[in-house]
Structures are given as structure tokens and as C-alpha cells.
Structure 1
Amino acid sequence: MPLTAPRLTGVGTAVSATSYTQREVLDAFQITDPRVRSVFLNSAIERRNLTLPAEDARGVRAPESQGDLLDKHKALALDMGGEALRACLKDAGADLADLRHLCCVTSTGFLTPGLSALLIKDLGIDRHCGRADIVGMGCNAGLNALAVEAGWAAAHPGELAVVLCVEACSAAYAMDSTMRTAVVNSLFGDGAAAVALRAEPGGAPRADGRESPAVLKFASCVIPDAVDAMRYDWDRDLGRFSFFLDPQIPYVVGAHAETVVDRLLAGTGLRGSDIRHWLVHSGGKKVIDAVVVNLGLTRHDVRHTVGVLRDHGNVSSGSFLFSYERLLAEGVTRPGEHGVLMTMGPGSTIETALIRW
């Protein structure tokens, strides 16, 4: 008996309370090195939501211990995660009592019990709700989670599943004025995003009556030669975890983008030119440019990707859902149109999904 394709029936996002311009972040940490300032000011990012350490009596923001950062992650994850989940369910015309399976994604802190269990307790979700936690996969993990929940939704027709991506990037922030950390520190922002899925014969319309897209197919590409190009490891000098991004990663991702899209579209009768909507991870200016060039996209195709980067920075695993929310707000999608979702992250990995309205 064939499974019914699950549909995306709602989306919601949230950010932390305080937004900073790139200049304000530089000034907050008293960064004067012109090379570091140039990385920040040429990032195509105007503002990001961050939760920075408080100033002391001298106006200095002292580095936070790993323990303090884990506490920050937990507090921000519960706050942003709860807000994004509620917004998503409202958009789907559902409430917490309708939720049957929750998959939480994060890479900016470690929690045991996982975020899913903490949210079930914190929000009063039915204790029989199924759950899963995907931790440490990085910016690509939102689509890995979507594949998990799409499979669950297809196997449980009519029941509601949600993917919740929560990235408290302020809890992975190490300001030490080096060029290694400047690339990371100039890029990431706090954010959470959730998407609801339901598989029902005859479709699952959104609460606003618009067509909800069906999730048709997934395709992945791991690049083993670049396994160390993006990593989150222990910095013995700082006594805490630190994220590393190889400067060559935009070009590595770009060089493999066409391969994974070809695999995604294989057997569908579609070509790249048939895709009406592209929702690409806001990984950074150079990453976006590399994908545009290698896939032959236009600036219009990635307008939401660019807009999310400009307004929020890279919010890691949930970035593509911020773009998806903006696309829906435009009201330009039409029945029968196809879209491609694309994320990239450690592994190095490119994840894709094909959807159809």
C-alpha cells in the first residue's frame, strides 16, 4: 500500500531578544584590528540577534565559561524553541494537544535529557508524544530532521509531526580577536524555526486555505575529503568548544551542488530550470554566491536566502525555514510548482529536498 506524501502545513520562527549591527558587535568586544573588522563589515549581514555577556563596571564583556555557555544554550533553546513551536502550530491551525511527534535539532549545546523532553515538560505537551533529538549535525541538520519526520508522518496518516530547529549561537561564541574566530563570530545569530507535517489522503491544506507543498524526495551528498572543513571541537587554550570554518568551504560546497541536485531530480522528469522556488541555506555570502554560480541561479532565486542572511545572519539548521516563511508571506506560489530546499554543513554535507505545491 503506497504511503501518502506528507505536506508542510505550517511554519514558525523566533529569535532572541536583542539585535545588534555588525559595528555594534565589534564595539561591544572592543575589536580594533582592521582585518577582523573587515570580515564583519563585508559579510552582507546588517543585523543579528545575539545574547552577549553583560558588561562589567569597566564596560568590558568578559569571556564566559563553558558551563555558563551551556546554561545560556538551555535557557535560549527553551525560550526560542517554545515560541517557534507555538507559532508553527498556530500557522498550521493546530495546538499543542494535536502534536504526535517532535524532532528537535540543535548544534550549539548539549543537553541530557534532550531538548524534546524539556519542551514536553515545559510546554505541557502530551507525555505520550513521540520524540527524537538530532544533535551536532550542524547547519544541514534541518533537512536531515525533515526526512525523519516526513517518514514518520507518511507512516502515521493524519497525525501531526513537527521539526524544530533551535540554534542558540550566542552559546557558541568565542571572541578572542583572532582571524580563525572572526569568520565564525561575524556570521552566526540566534534563531529557532519549526515546520509542521501531516500526511492525509487528498492533501493537507494550510490553515489559511492555501495549498501546502508535498515533500516528494530527498538527496544527500557527503564530501569525505572535507570532513574537517567545518567542525566544533575543544579549544584547549580557551578551555571551551570552538567552531572552525575552512575558508575554502564555499568553493567545496559550490563544486558539489550540481551533483546533489542532479541526484535529487533524477527520475522525476524535472530539470533545474523547472524549479520555480529555491530555498537555500543562508550559509554566508561566499557560500550563496558559489551555489548561485554552480547551479546557474539568479539573484531573484535566492532573494530570501540573502534577506535572511542580511537580517539575522546564519541561524544554522533553521535558516532554510526562515526563507520558506518569507516565501509563503509573498503569496507567489501556485499549485503544481516545484521547489528545492538545500542545506549545507559539517561532514562536509549537502542535503536537499524536492517539494511540490
Structure 2
Amino acid sequence: MFLQALATAVPPTQFSQSQCWDIVEKSPVRARLQKRSRLILHSILRGDHGIATRHFAAPDIEKIFDRSSDELNVIFRAEGPALAARALTAALAQANLKASDLDALLICTCTGYLCPGLTSYVSEQLGLRTDAILQDLVGLGCGAAIPTLRAASHVLAAQPGATVACIAVEICSAVFFLDDDPGVIISACLFSDGAAATIWRAKPGPTGLRAFDFQTHHRPADRDKLRFEHRDGKLRNLLDRAVPQLAASAVTELWAARGPRPVARVVAHPGGRDVLEALAPVVAPYSLDASARVLRDFGNMSSPSVLFALEETLRTATPTAADGDFWLVSFGAGFSAHSCRFGV
């Protein structure tokens, strides 16, 4: 399937990591944390751990750790569709299309649950036709963007004349949780909000670039190393210290199965500084600098992040038949990893 447009969006409110520390300092939750936990927070937010700034959609972010589960769901219901719609509106403008031109809309998220899903809200806001296919993918975590593209390719295989939009959107600020668990603390210092929208057709677009050769690898035995659980009605992220090596091991499986076509660039989900450092030897000598820049400027936005990294890579390079394809890889809850090629 061929790319027609790629656009991203983040909330307008931006915070430096130092400002995030100031928020924690003023929050009532600080008094509930052990001294060790406060020291971890200070070390990450006031040190250099690969993230400079993050964007949050939740209003009054200083109150986020004391909001009820109902209040957090209200935030997701308001901000998730709005941010997704912003990204898709920009993608439609790039492709010179109207929302009514879309035959299908697929949205992935893991930071909130709505029924009907985000597609219902976005289709209403933007004015999709009432016969457009709407499909929501939930539960795939940070790796969800590539499986969503794979699902879009199946829609286009069944309906070659269709125009399909995909959105990866996360409001991580609506699932912020803070206690004395190191993984929970790191999650609060790592994640942020963002959305990425792509539009696809079965025929070449302006660039002639396509996504193909989708692969996946999942390890249910490692499920508890990275997943959400429910605590007091809220989503609480479980993040094991082994995640960087789990990611590297899973990506190794996909990298070994990539096939003989040449690769020009590797575009990886920027899951964190330690994650990128663990991935580097797996894909050497390919650089992960674009992913590191996305991490620096936006933090880990979960599922949209790999598409932000693709957008960043496309600023300075384009896949060609002579040089090879871009190889995209994402990973997350499951434990799972997913890849595809992006080229001519």
C-alpha cells in the first residue's frame, strides 16, 4: 500500500523535564512518596536521560496524580479525539483530500477505553461518510502503529479502490500514576502525548513510497514485564527493568528475518534512552539518531512515536531502489515487536 500523507500533532502545552520536577515538588503526591522515590524522580527529571521536553494534553497537569479514574476518563474522552482529529486534518490537507473521501478509518490507542471507540468521535468531528469503515485497535501498547498499518493493508487488499486513514494517538497524561514502584516512577518521567496520522491507497501517491513486508514477534511469557494493570480504578503501568533487553531480543528476531532487500535506514520506536542503547548493537551500523531526536523533543508518546521517527527521518532522506528501504520497528506490551519495510 502506498503512502499519500503523514502528519503528526502534539498538545500545545510543553514542559521541560525540570518543569516536570517542579510540578512534582508542588504536588501533594510528593509527601506520599518514600525518600528513595523522590531521589529517583529528581535524578531522572533534573538529569540528562535523553528527554528534554514533553507535551501533555491533560489540563492542570499539576493535579494529575490526584484525579479520580472518572476524571481521567473524561480527559481522555475530550483530548484523545481532539488530538487525533488534528493529526488527520493535517494529513488530509497534505493529500489534498476531504474527510468525506475516506473509505476507512483505523485508530490505535492504549491510554483510554471508549465504547464506541475513538473512530466514532473523530469521524463525527471531521465529517466522514456514514458508510466509512471504522475500526479501533486497543491493547497493543507502544507497538500498535505498525499492526494498525498492517490492518490497513488488509482493507486495501479487499477494496483496492479505497482510501484508508490510520491514526495512532495516546493521551499518556490521562494514565499518569505515581507510587514507590521504580517502574511506575520511570513511566511518569518518560511518557507524553501525541498523535500521528497516515493516509494510504493501493496506488502510488506523490512520493511513490509504500509500506510492505509486515512481520511480528510476540512472547506471552514476558507479558507481565510491560503492561497496564488496574489499581483503584486507574491504569497503572508495569515497567520491568528488563524491558530494554527484551526489546533488543525481540527486535533481533525480526532483524534476522528481514530478508535480502537492502536497508538504507532503521526507524525505531524511541522507547527510552536505555532502550535505544540496547537496540543500537542489534541494528549496527545503522544509526538511531532520528529516534533519539524524537525522544529528546517529545518523550515516549507510545504508539505514535515510531511514525514521528519516520517523519523525522524523511526530513533528510528518502528510500530509493538503489540505496534500499527504511526498516520500521516498534515494540511494547505483549511482549511484542512489529516491523515493516517502507520504500519504493
TM, length-normalised to structure 1: 0.88
* Corresponding position: 1:356 with 2:343: yes
Distance across 1 between alignment mates of 2:283 and 2:246: 14
* 3-state secondary structure, aligned to 2:248: helix
Instruction: Give the Å deviation of 1:241.
Output: 1.7
Gaps of 5+ in 1: 1-5
Match of 2:136 in 1: 133
* Corresponding position: 1:15 with 2:10: yes
Q: In the superposition, relative to structure 1, how do residues 328 and 315 fare at CA in structure 2: closer, same or farther (>3 Å)?
A: same
Match of 2:314 in 1: 328
Gaps of 5+ in 2: none
Instruction: Select 1:315's aligned residue among 276, 301, 306.
Output: 301
* Corresponding position: 1:68 with 2:71: yes
Match of 1:3 in 2: none
Match of 1:259 in 2: 253
Check whether the contact 1:53–1:62 (CA below 8 A) recurs between aligned residues.
no
Instruction: Give the Å deviation of 1:224.
Output: 2.5
* 3-state secondary structure, aligned to 1:327: helix
Residues 1-357 of structure 1: pairs in structure 2 closer than 5 A:
6-30=1-25, 33-40=38-45, 41-52=47-58, 54=60, 63-176=66-179, 178-200=181-203, 204-206=204-206, 211-236=207-232, 239-265=233-259, 269-270=260-261, 274-298=262-286, 301-336=287-322, 337-357=324-344
Distance across 1 between alignment mates of 2:87 and 2:63: 32
1:37-88 Cα deviation digits (max 9, x unpaired): 1133342000000145538xxx876611111111111111111111000111
* 3-state secondary structure, aligned to 1:317: coil
Check whether the contact 2:319–2:343 (CA below 8 A) recurs between aligned residues.
no
1:307-337 Cα deviation digits (max 9, x unpaired): 1100000111111111111222325443553
Check whether the contact 1:188–1:314 (CA below 8 A) recurs between aligned residues.
yes
Instruction: Give the Å deviation of 1:253.
Output: 1.4
Q: In the superposition, relative to structure 1, how do residues 62 and 282 fare at CA in structure 2: closer, same or farther (>3 Å)?
A: closer
Instruction: Give the Å deviation of 1:183.
Output: 0.8
Instruction: Give the Å deviation of 1:275.
Output: 0.7
Letter of the structure 2 residue corresponding to residue 12 of structure 1: A
* 3-state secondary structure, aligned to 1:227: helix
Q: In the superposition, relative to structure 1, how do residues 280 and 350 fare at CA in structure 2: closer, same or farther (>3 Å)?
A: same
Distance across 1 between alignment mates of 2:178 and 2:150: 35
Distance across 2 between alignment mates of 1:302 and 1:253: 14
* 3-state secondary structure, aligned to 1:103: strand
Check whether the contact 2:105–2:133 (CA below 8 A) recurs between aligned residues.
yes
Check whether the contact 1:29–1:61 (CA below 8 A) recurs between aligned residues.
no
Instruction: Give the Å deviation of 1:134.
Output: 0.3
Q: In the superposition, relative to structure 1, how do residues 52 and 26 fare at CA in structure 2: closer, same or farther (>3 Å)?
A: farther
Instruction: Give the Å deviation of 1:178.
Output: 4.7
Instruction: Give the Å deviation of 1:279.
Output: 1.1
Letter of the structure 2 residue corresponding to residue 136 of structure 1: G
Q: In the superposition, relative to structure 1, how do residues 307 and 110 fare at CA in structure 2: closer, same or farther (>3 Å)?
A: same
Distance across 1 between alignment mates of 2:159 and 2:194: 29
Check whether the contact 1:218–1:264 (CA below 8 A) recurs between aligned residues.
no
* Alpha-carbon RMSD: 1.9
Distance across 2 between alignment mates of 1:129 and 1:52: 30
Distance across 2 between alignment mates of 1:62 and 1:185: 10
Distance across 2 between alignment mates of 1:112 and 1:60: 26
**Going by fraction, where is helix more abundant, 1 or 2?**
2
Check whether the contact 2:173–2:192 (CA below 8 A) recurs between aligned residues.
yes
TM, length-normalised to structure 2: 0.91
Instruction: Give the Å deviation of 1:142.
Output: 0.7
Percentage of pairs with the same residue = 26
